[in-house]
Amino acid sequence: MDIASLRAQHPDHWKKACAIRVLTLDAVAAANSGHSGMPMGMADVATVLFEKHLSFDPTAPKWPNRDRFILSAGHGSMLIYSLLHLTGYAQASLDQLKNFRQWGARTAGHPEYGHLDGVETTTGPLGQGISNAVGFAMAEESLRARYGAKVMDHYTYVIAGDGCLMEGVSQEAIGIAGKHQLSRLIVLWDDNGITIDGKVELSDVTDQKARFAASGWDVFECDGHDPVAIDEAITAAKKSPRPAMIACKTHIALGSSAQDTSKGHGALTDKQLIADTRAAYGWDHGPFEIPADVKAAWEAIGARGQATRREWESRLATLPAGKQAEFNRLFTGEASPKLGAAIRSVKKAAAEAPKKMATRSASEVVLAAVNPVAPETIGGSADLTGSNNTKTADLGVFDPLNRKGRYVYWGIREHGMAAAMNGMALHGGVRPYSGTFMCFTDYARPSMRLSALMQVPVVYVMTHDSIGLGEDGPTHQPVEHLAISRATPNTWVFRPADLVEVAEAWELALSTQTTPSVLALSRQNVTPVRTKHTNQNLSAKGAYVLAEATGKRQVILIATGSEVEIAMQAREMLEAEGIGTRVVSMPCMELFAAQDEAYRKKVLPAGPARIAIEAGVRQGWDRWLLGERGREAKADFVGMASFGASAPADRLYKEFGITAEATVAKAKALL
């Protein structure tokens, strides 16, 4: 439908949609930066969605049963900022739009979760929004099964562009959604045929509609500028028993001289182009000026949701008091009140009857105690269930026949798994954890970074954490991955030494509301090092003195995970020669760094030689070896400086010099 027809046949709709378009033009021009074309092209689709379908309440942006709207094509952020402003979200003031992309503004270059009410997830890295949306829809299904449709019953809508669909993670995501028949998930594809470089055909020939259909979706299409056709398509999609994709044929940068060109994708800041476009729209108002009748019409759309939300609150109030309390706890993100007791019980049993086991197996022991008392947990694995040890007997399998199941078979989709877990956590009401091999954090990395950026407490169970996995060889043996994870801000990287430290790591990971955790766990058995029970969570301080020197302290050995055992062996050998040796277990560098200097100084005092022992690269260790009162002449590292090799674990540790004997030799050389 062309502009003349739209203006003539749907004048009220046209004005509302044009409010989005001109606010986009004005904000991008003011910033001299941004992406104009997508909001201009998808304004009609967004207007119909918000006016006729989306259930939301700007006065209660976080009420649990709202529909979720995700702008996967996050470069078009002025679309969502305009919508939030027009419908009455208090944080999306006109001043915020005028300060688009400026320091301190909530209106960041790409939508950021936590910066602005109404932004459900951080998007911009293409493919992440549509992939997060799968997790949103899974969380909704899970909670609806548990609490009933009168409490949990809503849709997740996504606007995605060609960039989102070209990114590989999108295929992982739509495959998961199709398998699980997520009928409350609706993707509106901005089919404008343009990318930054030019026409889509420059780089892609994919039949997207056939691709979605082949992945288990129902596919619809419409003229993305015809409000009647858009409404009909969304109505049909909502009735679909499977996830739905609507191909919305649109014109990027509609009405401008850059329409249907790659120039239209970016910032349209030319004054004459903007003036001509406003004239084509029939819009004769000044910059950032929305006529009172148009703003009132949008605010009426926003106000409509209050009644719906209040009706929902009344329904929630009919639940038994205990069920209500549990529901509210889940959505505040508070840990289960039974978590602490479950962890202490595991620790006490482990100390009383210590036995060698891999820390991945220890994690399974902890989960067996935690999952029954924390109904919010949803676990999974990327086709490595038997290796990651993430499934416990009580969970049941989440699938179309059992929405109450709490274990997800993600398939070989590490990136899609991580993105969906972010969506689950952002939806609220569930706490996701899932596993793969530590080496394949590479495949999940963009989503792990967004977990940290968004401050969502997703738990990544990364097993086979070193050359200790053995015969699979260097393709599967992580050496740099601990350093990569530790380099990411707002991420806790736990490398626990035994069952007790594993339990403490899980307690911390399931108690925080703002930090994702990476649990790096061994394939090989380790000897318990914590054999004296204490209720205190020693891992909460990041590092602590595990064994003290018996005489004058000359050496401090600092180790993590499976290498703490090696440190203890080296200590015994050094002490036998009269060399006083302290062993510090450092399960989480980030938490140790967060302690006050007095505590850090107590654990790592000046004077003794220091050696760190970890079957990974040295990067990240120098703060504890050379800083914090250490010095280069009295510091060394026992670990990896290369990739691994294919051989049994014991042979590898000897060949790469990660042994008690090598540690002792380096300690003596420093004295």
Copy the structure tokens of residue 89. 């979200």
Contact 221, 189 (CB under 8 A): no
Residue 329 to residue 481: CA distance in whole angstroms: 35
Q: CA 165, CA 501: separation in Å to the nearest integer?
A: 42
Percent of the chain with pLDDT over 70: 100
Binning pLDDT at 50, 70 and 90, where does residue 37 land? very high
Q: b/e map of 199-230 (b: 16 or more CB within 10 Å)?
A: ebeeeeeeebbebbeebbbbbbebebbbbebb
> How does DSSP classify residue 67?
P
Token pair of 162, please? 């060609």
Measure the CA–CA gap between 3 and 255, rounded to whole angstroms. Answer: 7
The pairing of strands 244-249 and 218-223 is parallel
Residues 96-116 pLDDT 10s? 999 999 999 999 999 999 999
Residue whose entry in the numeric block shows the structure tokens 């039974």: 338
Closest to 407 (Cα-Cα) out of 440, 433, 387: 433
- Cβ neighbours of 279 (radius 10 Å): 11
pLDDT of amino acid 139: 98
Q: Which tokens go with 497?
A: 């030494």
- Closest listed residue to residue 521, CA positions, set 480, 567, 565, 460: 460
pLDDT of residue 6: 95
Residues annotated within a binding site for thiamine diphosphate: 75, 124-126, 163, 192, 265, 440
Instruction: Kindly report the number of other CB atoms within 10 A of residue 491's CB atom.
Output: 20
Question: Is there a contact between 460 and 516 (Cβ–Cβ < 8 Å)?
Answer: yes
Active site (annotated) includes residue 414: yes
Give tens-digit pLDDT for 460-490: 999 999 999 999 999 999 999 999 999 999 9
Question: How do residues 375-390 score in pLDDT, each as one tens digit?
Answer: 999 999 999 999 999 9
Contacts of 651 (CB under 8 A, 6+ apart): none
For residue 670, the model assigns a pLDDT of 98
Our CA angle for 97, 61, 101, nearest 5°, is 25
Among 414, 504, 590, 614, the one annotated catalytic: 414
Question: Taking residues 443-458, what's their average pLDDT?
Answer: 98
Q: How distant, in Å, are the alpha carbons of 484, 501, 548 from that of 541?
A: 21, 12, 17
pLDDT at 220: 98
Mean local confidence (pLDDT), 627-638: 97
The pLDDT tens digits of the residues spanning 137-160 come to 999 999 999 999 999 999 999 999
Give 637's strand partners.
612
Q: Are 436 and 489 in contact (CB under 8 A)?
A: no
pLDDT at 251: 98
Quote the crossing angle between the two packed helices 563-576 and 660-670, to the nearest 10°. Answer: 50
Binding site residue list for substrate:
35, 265, 360, 387, 464, 472, 476, 523
Per-residue model confidence (pLDDT) at position 564: 98
SS3 419: helix
**Among residues of the chain, what percentage have pLDDT more than 90?**
100
Confidence (pLDDT) at 647: 98
Task: Average the pLDDT over 598-614 and give the result.
Answer: 98
3-state secondary structure 598-653: HHHHHHCCCCCEEEEECCCCCCCCHHHHCCCCCCHHHEEEECCCCCCCCCCHHHHH
Q: How far apart are CA 562 and CA 424, in angstroms?
A: 32
Q: 444: closest CA among 660, 128, 146? A: 128
pLDDT for the residue 34 = 98
Question: Annotated binding site: which residue ranges?
Answer: 35, 75, 124-126, 162-163, 192, 194, 265, 360, 387, 440, 464, 472, 476, 523
Q: What is the crossing angle of helices 271-281 and 11-31, to 10°?
A: 170
